[in-house]
Every structure is written in structure tokens, then in C-alpha cells.
Amino acid sequence: MTKEEILRKHKQFLFPSITTYYSDPLVTDHASMQHVWDVDGKKYLDFFGGIVTISVGHCNPRVTAKVKAQVDKLQHASTVFPNEAVVALAEKIAQITPGEISQSFLSNSGTEANETAVQLARMYTGHFEVVVLRHGYSGRSQMAQSMTGHGTWRRSLPTPAPGFVHALNPYCYRCPLGKTYPSCEVACANDVEAVIQTTTSGQIAAFLAEPIQGVGGFITPPKEYFKMVFKIVKNYGGLFISDEVQTGWGRTGKRWFGIEQWEVTPDIITSAKGMANGAPVGLTATRPEIAASFKGLQISTFGGNPVTSVAAKATIDLIEEDRLMDNAAMVGSYYRKGLESLQEKHELIGDVRGMGLLQAIEFVKDRATKEPAPEVTNQFMEECRKRGLLVGKGGLFANVIRTSPPLNITTADVDEAVRIMDESLAAMNAVEYHSSTADERRATQMRPQINAKKLE
């Protein structure tokens, strides 16, 4: 098929709600390790990896060789037939998950993983209400959308599922309490208690959060935040669920799971995305006594599929064998310095944040007012794409660039990415995006125009 045919059929046969990046959508053809090629043969350095999913490089031969062998051996079993692939994966997960987490329920997506975790917490505790965070993202089912703290991702929700309450999130760059760290003494953590006391019965089933909020724009909490919240959650009878869909498997550097960076041992871990380097997977892992509280029968037709299980195990083994958690920390801190040097040079960058190889930049029109600059974000993506770099976006105001390259990239890849970002920002004629005075902002209705001619 030609590019035009693919795009026409995409429009004709897929739901229009499936949005794509770029004014001229990028039609992918093939990929290898940190690179993707489009159908016109243009090569890109991929610093987003699908959506935070490629952990060890696209089509990494050390993963695909095992997947190919498994496809020929046993492609499907379902949860009613035990097989070596699924138990080998579950055993590996038990070895690397924190605390006494040692049993897994495997499914197909992060959405399912979170649903399973909430169901389980309710059955184990006998309580119903669950505290989640504003700006969080939990998935696309009715329950997961109800947990999500972004209006934009809740619009298809006719009635939210009951039992979810949203506490303030630890968004230091835009503190919901108008305070500054560290003099704030992490006051936002106390909102979890206030929300429990005022909007629940006082007995909660769980608290569920991402150690670094992904879709929210890699919002990274102060180091004390989760320890403080953990104590509150325990005081009110809840389980602590760490959503590791974006932060798991070494992504944040040095440790397997993001929550370990905050020195908290969760009761349940959920994951998906990078766990199987692109194969569809969902994981809910917990301690045996919690897993045992699941009432009734459960199947998942594709959960723990042998091919997916082999892909996940091969991915995790590769991360371990090549010490990619250390690489994520080392190359991640080198990358972070590169992004900070861009921030020094380009006024549009209001904040740089993240951990390991999960790094974001937040664009603002004005550093003093922090007015979000979503147009800049879109244009930056276009400019990077022109120069051969793929990045993602996110944030409640759609003004955050999210990057999550494979964990085995090198400093040379980082140099190339930072150079392209620098050139892209320079080409954007940044002055055009600034609304330096209140009058000017009103005049442009907060939507400064891009000088199209200068962009060519």
C-alpha cells in the first residue's frame, strides 16, 4: 500500500477518535533498536518508543529470536492450561519485585492491570473507596477512566464508576497549593488525608498512583511525598498500589520499579507497556495473602499468553544481563544535563523533570506567568520530526514533551537528540510564541501565532 492509501484506509476503517501525531501523520514501516523508518524511507531516532514501550530497542533480535521460536512451539494456551513460558515469567517477576510480592495475574493491558488491582484491594480489605491523584492516567475502561485525573481523557465517560476520589498531585512546578518546595513541607501529601476524611467513609480499599505521573507530563514528586502518603494510606486501612506502567523495568534508573526510588514498598504493583518491549501485556502482582482474597473464578483468554510471556521474560532478562538499569541512570543523567543546557538557552522551556530515561520538558509562553504553550509543543514535535527525531507529548495542558528512549541508548544518541532539539527550537523563531505583557496576551487571546514563513 502507498502512504496515501494507508492514511485513507486509516480514516475510513478505524474509529475517528484514534488520534495520531503530526499534521502529516508518520506512517511507520519498520524499526530496528533505537531507529524507526517511515514508508518513504526516512530514518528517525526514536525517543518515545511507541508510547514509553520499547525498553530494549525495536525488534531487538535477542527478544524476537525467542518470540519466533515460541510461536512455532506453542502459540496459545489460555489461562486454563499451565505452560513453561508463563511460570518462568511469573517466577522472574517474583524475584525482582519489592517486598514479599510474589504472585502475578497476567492480562493484556495497563487498563486491565489496574482494574484487577482495584478489584483485588476491595476484596482483600472489604472496603470500597479508592484514592487516586489528579493528573494521573489509569487507562480507557469505565473504571480506569474514572480513576484518571484528566478531563480530556474522561469525556467519553457517561457516568463515572463510583468509589474514586481524587487528591491533589505533587506537581511542584505548578504547586496546587501555591507553595514552594522544600518550605512547603510537602503539604500536598496531607491532602490525601483530607480527601479521605471528607469524601470517603474513612475506610479505604486502596491508594493508587504512578511513582512519576506519565501522561500527566512526567510529574516527579518530592522525595518525601510517597513515604508520607504511605503512612496515611495505612492509617485508613488501604492497600498501596503502585502503577508502574510507565516507570517499571528499570526505566527510572538503578532500580526495577519507580516506587523503589521513593523507598516505599507497595502492596500491589501494576504494569504493562515496557514490560514486554512492545508485545501486549498487563501485570498485577502482589503478596500471596492478597492474591488469595480474590473471590470467584477468573480467566483471561490471552492473559499470560506463551508468546507474550516469552517476550516479557526475554526483555527483563536482557535488562538484567546488560545492566540497563545502570545505563538508564548514567545515560539518563547525561541526557538530563543536555536538556538543562537547552533550558538555559531557550526561554520557552519552563521546566525539565523526570528520572533516568524518563525525561520531560514543559513549554511555557512566559517563565514568570508559566502560561502553558501547547502550540510550541506541537511545533517542536514537527520540527524534531523534520530533523529525524521522534518525541512524545503529554500534560494536562498538552504542553509537555515526553521522552523515553530505549534503555540501551548511548551518549552519542543523546548528543544527536539534544542537537536536533536545539536546532528545532532555534528554527521556531521562539520570540513569536512569547506574550510578554498582559495586554499582549489578551490581544492574542492567549494563542500566539506561529510565524509560518520563518519556519520554512
**Minimum gap (Å) between residue 431 Cβ and ligand PLP:** 35
Q: Which three cell numbers stand for residue 288?
A: 500471596
**Minimum gap (Å) between residue 392 Cβ and ligand PLP:** 10
Give 97 or 435: the residue with its C-beta nearer to ligand PLP: 97
Give 252 or 424: the residue with its C-beta nearer to ligand PLP: 252
Give 210 or 375: the residue with its C-beta nearer to ligand PLP: 210
> Residue 162 burial by CB count (10 A; 0-12/13-18/19+): exposed, middle or buried?
exposed
**Minimum gap (Å) between residue 393 Cβ and ligand PLP:** 13
Residue of this chain nearest to ligand PLP (CB atom): 110
SS3 content of the chain, % helix, strand, coil (to 5): 40, 15, 40
**Minimum gap (Å) between residue 259 Cβ and ligand PLP:** 12
Q: Which of 49, 91, 30, 78 is nearest to 312 (CA)?
A: 91
**Minimum gap (Å) between residue 43 Cβ and ligand PLP:** 26
Give 396 or 418: the residue with its C-beta nearer to ligand PLP: 396
Return d(Cα 273, Cα 219) in angstroms, integer.
18
- Using only C-alpha atoms, the chain has a radius of gyration, in whole angstroms, of 22
**Minimum gap (Å) between residue 16 Cβ and ligand PLP:** 19
Phi, psi at residue 161, to the nearest 5°? -65, 140
> What is the layout of strands, in order, in the sheet containing 389-390?
28-32, 35-38, 43-46, 389-390
**Minimum gap (Å) between residue 216 Cβ and ligand PLP:** 9
Q: Which amino acid is at 357?
A: L
Return d(Cα 187, Cα 221) in angstroms, integer.
12
Give 255 or 402: the residue with its C-beta nearer to ligand PLP: 402
Residue 16 CB: number of other CB atoms within 10 A? 7
Give 109 or 399: the residue with its C-beta nearer to ligand PLP: 109
Give 280 or 374: the residue with its C-beta nearer to ligand PLP: 280
Query: DSSP letter string over 399-446?
Result: -EEEE---TT--HHHHHHHHHHHHHHHHHTTGGGG---SHHHHHHTTT
- Cβ(216)–Cβ(394) below 8 Å: yes
**Minimum gap (Å) between residue 316 Cβ and ligand PLP:** 18
Give 246 or 315: the residue with its C-beta nearer to ligand PLP: 246
Which residues are near ligand PLP by CB under 6 A?
A: 51, 109-111, 114, 137-140, 210, 214-215, 243, 245-246, 272
Contacts (Cβ under 8 Å, ≥6 apart) of 264: 226, 227, 230, 240, 242
Q: Which of 352, 310, 323, 344 is nearest to 76 (CA)?
A: 310
Beta strands in 252-380 (DSSP E): 268-271, 282-286, 349-355, 358-366, 371-372
**Minimum gap (Å) between residue 195 Cβ and ligand PLP:** 20
Give 114 or 308: the residue with its C-beta nearer to ligand PLP: 114
